[in-house]
A and B are shown apart, each in its own frame.
Chain A
């Protein structure tokens, strides 16, 4: 495999030009700075793309599983109902600068949206049409824990080409045919020396990762045992019950479906939802199987680190650390996992 892999090279100064060139053919999405925030957005110029950043505030899952998506619209006239599906974005999208953790998150979303009995056709179209040029993490942040959950700062899963920052140049690891077709005529071959530097950068990044999160150990615990643990009685107490962690998360995939009426018809809309909201599981009869923060917090943690892990062999977490950074009460998922496991040791 290694022999077939293609390594290209690009000087940092050329990046904006490359993105501009890609823009002629594609919709190009890249990290940009908006009001001090790093966000993934379509760029109008290659210069807008930020090359030096930790990670975006929101995960780029929006481009595959949008926070709000019209599933269909309908028109009603003379008791005739006509259903119309929205037109897909006509251009293919190149997403530049996605972190390996976020790219890997897409493989986990695939399990929900593509690998079950029923497939989400809109999601599939976006997965097939989008090209991912990822940017490896030379300086993982202290909130990052990808290596605890099966990832790596320079992981290649779910990526078409991986850019490795060597300071003044990038080495580009071309990983798929899509990536190769996109880049082979646009970039030059990488030299032996850059490849060596790239290896060094990778090693250093990996060794700089902070303490491990006991995700594997949690998955190995007995479900019924941890489910009833008194641990849950108090760990949720500080949780505000907002949806920040779930909305910033690259792997959270829960959604709601609502109808909005217009004068002559309406739309059925899919919206992100959060397992931390009380209404998420409230039944019309008034029964709520998860009536308090205790049950909701338990659902979030166990869904990610136990149920999902049992079903798919890996947790539904890629260690991006967004929930750690942005939780308003610093309820740190790493601590929750480690304490739950620690209490069972």
Chain B
């Protein structure tokens, strides 16, 4: 599950597509207006619903369309990532990145890597609602 900022990473993913760069098809993209919009609840909900990995990607520091959304997000994500690892969630399950609209290459490489890492971790067993 990937939450991509509309102004950068989502455009980066688009560019990757237009440039015919290959990346694994098993990510589900949710476009968000800013990485600052990503409530930690979204990430936890994704895990609960059985996502094996979650990627949040926004604009590089200084490039936020809303000036500072990603800076605020960065603080939240730092704490959330630590907290999840602290209770025993594998570090690779929830990942964060900065990808600009021009970084189609970085995006495809990122998704390749993240997918591989999540695959290596296997199916997520923690925080998943078993039904």
Interface residues of A (CB under 8 A from B): 260, 262-263, 267
- Cβ of B131 within 8 Å of any chain A Cβ, yes or no, is yes
Q: How far is the CA of A267 from the CA of B130 in the complex (A)?
A: 13
Q: How far is the CA of A267 from the CA of B131 in the complex (A)?
A: 10
Q: Which residues of B lie under 8 Å from residue A263 when comparing CB positions?
A: 131
Residue interface bits B92-131, CB-to-A below 8 A is 1, else 0:
0000000000000000000000000000000000000001
Q: Which residues of B lie under 8 Å from residue A262 when comparing CB positions?
A: 131
Q: Which residues of A lie under 8 Å from residue B131 when comparing CB positions?
A: 260, 262-263, 267
Q: Could you list some 4 contacts between A and B, CB below 8 A?
A: A260-B131, A262-B131, A263-B131, A267-B131
4 interchain residue pairs of minimum CB distance: A262-B131, A260-B131, A267-B131, A263-B131
Q: How far is the CA of A263 from the CA of B50 in the complex (A)?
A: 11
Determine the residue in chain A with the shortest Cβ distance to B50: A263
Could you tell me the distance in whole angstroms from the C-beta of B85 to the nearest C-beta in chain A? 24
Could you tell me the distance in whole angstroms from the C-beta of B104 to the nearest C-beta in chain A? 33
Determine the residue in chain B with the shortest Cβ distance to A264: B131
Determine the residue in chain A with the shortest Cβ distance to B131: A262
Could you tell me the distance in whole angstroms from the C-beta of A24 to the nearest C-beta in chain B? 31
Q: Which residues of B lie under 8 Å from residue A267 when comparing CB positions?
A: 131
Q: How far is the CA of A260 from the CA of B131 in the complex (A)?
A: 10
Determine the residue in chain B with the shortest Cβ distance to A265: B131
Could you tell me the distance in whole angstroms from the C-beta of A258 to the nearest C-beta in chain B? 14
Could you tell me the distance in whole angstroms from the C-beta of A102 to the nearest C-beta in chain B? 32
Determine the residue in chain B with the shortest Cβ distance to A267: B131
Determine the residue in chain B with the shortest Cβ distance to A262: B131
Could you tell me the distance in whole angstroms from the C-beta of A312 to the nearest C-beta in chain B? 39
Could you tell me the distance in whole angstroms from the C-beta of B45 to the nearest C-beta in chain A? 13
Residue interface bits B30-54, CB-to-A below 8 A is 1, else 0:
0000000000000000000000000
Could you tell me the distance in whole angstroms from the C-beta of A73 to the nearest C-beta in chain B? 9
Q: How far is the CA of A59 from the CA of B131 in the complex (A)?
A: 29
Q: Which residues of B lie under 8 Å from residue A260 when comparing CB positions?
A: 131
Determine the residue in chain A with the shortest Cβ distance to B49: A263
Q: How far is the CA of A260 from the CA of B129 in the complex (A)?
A: 11
Complex interface residues of chain B between 10 and 43 (CB less than 8 A to chain A): none
Q: How far is the CA of A201 from the CA of B131 in the complex (A)?
A: 51
Q: How far is the CA of A262 from the CA of B128 in the complex (A)?
A: 12
Determine the residue in chain B with the shortest Cβ distance to A260: B131
Q: How far is the CA of A263 from the CA of B128 in the complex (A)?
A: 14
Q: How far is the CA of A135 from the CA of B131 in the complex (A)?
A: 39
Could you tell me the distance in whole angstroms from the C-beta of B51 to the nearest C-beta in chain A? 14
Could you tell me the distance in whole angstroms from the C-beta of A268 to the nearest C-beta in chain B? 13
Q: How far is the CA of A262 from the CA of B131 in the complex (A)?
A: 7
Q: How far is the CA of A260 from the CA of B48 in the complex (A)?
A: 13
Q: How far is the CA of A263 from the CA of B49 in the complex (A)?
A: 10
Q: How far is the CA of A242 from the CA of B131 in the complex (A)?
A: 29
Could you tell me the distance in whole angstroms from the C-beta of B130 to the nearest C-beta in chain A? 10
Could you tell me the distance in whole angstroms from the C-beta of A129 to the nearest C-beta in chain B? 27
Q: How far is the CA of A299 from the CA of B131 in the complex (A)?
A: 37
Q: How far is the CA of A262 from the CA of B129 in the complex (A)?
A: 10
Determine the residue in chain B with the shortest Cβ distance to A266: B131
